[in-house]
Structure 1
């Protein structure tokens, strides 16, 4: 594939941004490519139907039918399914790239464009596209020659084929063609065309009488080789891809189509193998797989990071219950939800009794340890997924109880008091008990959009104040 053939390639650019169209068109036209343009999905499909391009540069965000839709449509059409599509986007999002490859894209270029990157990616796909077209053309030519042979056998008792024409056709094809003798157990090569010589570096004289296994050398542990062996044993056609090695030792990927040739009695006497060097395609496929694996790994790491960040953003670092930010967001969310469902919302506000004296007497490290144990005790009472325990501030804790009337909230509050009492954390400076206690206020409202959630907070706070006023170590709320 030479540069001159690449420069004659037809490239269709699809982008609704005129500046981008002009930039890419000038860049590729100076390189010698034939460039066409379209500004939306429908115009693009008309242009493609009028004349099939060799490569398409396709912006994701275009009107009428977006880039994903255009690419999906092309891949479903047999006439356009093999056109390489390079996606263009101003975003470098992993999900966008993944979707671009899922719908059939072969590459991805992000804006702003870098001249060398654009030219390199376009030239690679142009070479692959033109090579694919040439291979298809050669295959069609070979099929026509085979039909000529079959027609000659049908109309003549002794097949008469223009040997010179057939020789020229086989010599001209880009594919490697070999014929092996199936009447010998080792299937030795009896013919190899110039395409085979160009592909492998071996001449007919060097390979004649050998089995094709010499092309794999010691690299015999391949699934394709086992399939080829079974094909020969069962005397049937097959198509495989194997790793072969040229005469100079360089590896290349070889796509082999093997077909048996039978004599008049139905016995297989020859095998014809058509070989195609698919190294570039294989490398591109491996690169795509590596990219997809990298994308999958990045997505997994991002998910883990987002989970960790979400946890850090919503948890109190000391007590590991929800923080004030999470409390505010949850209360607002539940307020809106329950205002639609016409269901009650209860809130418990709790304060560790005489916690300042606890810190003064035992020190702040012990105070932190006390806060952790109180948080764990409160959390052990809360079991419903929608309920939330949060550190409200300092030594204050808050418990949100959706779909809960006053009676239910009071039961929860009493259990919290009991759990904290059972801790029996010493508190000699307390004016209530010789151990840590807590005062709780319980508020309950039926949320409506006409009032604010601060109404519930103020109500619970008032009852908390009343609990302290009445002697602490207790729960105060509306009479049940």
Structure 2
């Protein structure tokens, strides 16, 4: 069974809300609020796929709501359909200039509403698919560096707001160049795929995130994990790769493929930039490799950094 799209209706007229709900409820999960302030509050805790937004409302009007939606990275990609009794071309043009995807004039036809909503959701579905494909590493089929940067930035902001820990792990396949030289690049690609899937398979929480960082390096973003918990998780990752038992006769530290890991943790969420966590994790990774590889080094990032 396909998951229903979530549609938020924002209109101060109770009759309009009722008619729109009855029009869309058979195909979609519909949520109703009566003004712009409540819409913005609702969207802080609930994700929706599309918003039908009245323009003239008490308090902040629809235009102002749309401006705030577009300024927020969490809501800026949600398609918005304006619905209004204002029928001037200037009003319609203003809506499109601010980023609305469509405009429906009141009194509205329920058939037109269904069709416009269906079209916008189809466009969003295609855009989401393209975005997902652009965020996946072509070789390993796990998230790529671009997706990692977006995820880390999002989790860093959440950590800053809540004051909760955030840990980052950088991992490197030990002596991978020697592996490629010994077994060939096709075998090297297969090794990267197997390691990637083992790392992803070690994640049990839905919020844990593993991506290909570049070359033979991988990264994990671990919201809510303090230094000790990140160490436990890093050992799981290391054990998962060791359990693959991929032969590596050219390795200088083991007879099979191993990884080195560097951990950086912000215990209180007060690190001033997410890039600091990557830099500290990279220092930990360097120390792990310098200590003989197949090692884990954890660092706590101070508030001043």
- TM-score, normalised relative to structure 1: 0.41
Specify the alignment match of 1:238 in structure 2: none
| TM superposition shift of 1:392 | 0.9
Instruction: Give, in whole Å, the separation in 2 of the partners of 1:355 and 1:69.
Output: 61
1:407 Cα deviation after fit = 1.0
Q: Post-superposition shift, 1:68?
A: 4.8
- Report the counterpart of residue 171 of structure 2 in structure 1: 350
1:258-269 → structure 2 map (5 Å cutoff): none
Q: Distance in 2 between matches of 1:458 and 1:478?
A: 11
Q: CA RMSD in A?
A: 3.2
Q: What is the aligned counterpart of 1:314 among 135, 156, 173?
A: 135
Distance 1:400 1:341, change over 3 A: same
1:132-154 Cα shifts (integer Å, max 9, x gaps): xxxxxxxxxxxxxxxxxxxxxxx
Cα deviation, 1:412-460, whole Å, max 9, x if unaligned, reads: 1111111111111121211122211111111112355563223222221
Alignment partners' CA distance in 1, 2:271 and 2:254: 43
Q: Distance in 2 between matches of 1:292 and 1:450?
A: 47
- Contact kept, 8 Å, 1:336 with 1:449, in 2: the verdict is no
Aligned to 1:432: 253
Contact 1:94 1:295 in 2 (8 A): no
Q: What is the match of residue 96 of structure 1?
A: 102
Rounded to whole Å, the distance in 1 between the matches of 2:116 and 2:84 is 22
The residue number in structure 2 matching 1:51 is none
Where in structure 2 are there 5+ consecutive unaligned residues?
A: 1-53, 63-81, 301-305
Work out the number of aligned pairs and report it: 221
Determine if the alignment matches structure 1 residue 459 to structure 2 residue 285. Answer: no
Query: Which residue is 1:413 aligned to?
Result: 234
Structure 1 SS opposite 2:85: helix
Conserved 8 A contact 1:447-1:453: no
Deviation, structure 1 residue 304: 2.3
Q: Do 1:87 and 1:105's aligned partners in 2 also have CA atoms closer than 8 Å?
A: no
Output aligned runs, 1:207-218, within 5 Å. none
- Counterparts of 1:390-409 in structure 2, within 5 Å, are 390-409=211-230
Matches within 5 A, 1:275-286: none
| Deviation at residue 87 of structure 1 after TM alignment | 6.5
Q: Is contact 1:410-1:442 (8 Å) kept?
A: yes
Distance in 1 between residues matched to 2:114 and 2:154, nearest whole Å: 38
Paired with 2:270 and 2:159, the residues of 1 have a C-alpha distance of: 10
Paired position in structure 1 for 2:297: 476
1:335 to 142, 150, 156: 156
Task: Give the TM-score of the pair, scaled to structure 2.
Answer: 0.63
Counterpart position of 1:323: 144
Flag the structure with more relative contact order, 1 or 2, with Cα contacts below 8 A and sequence separation at least 6: 2
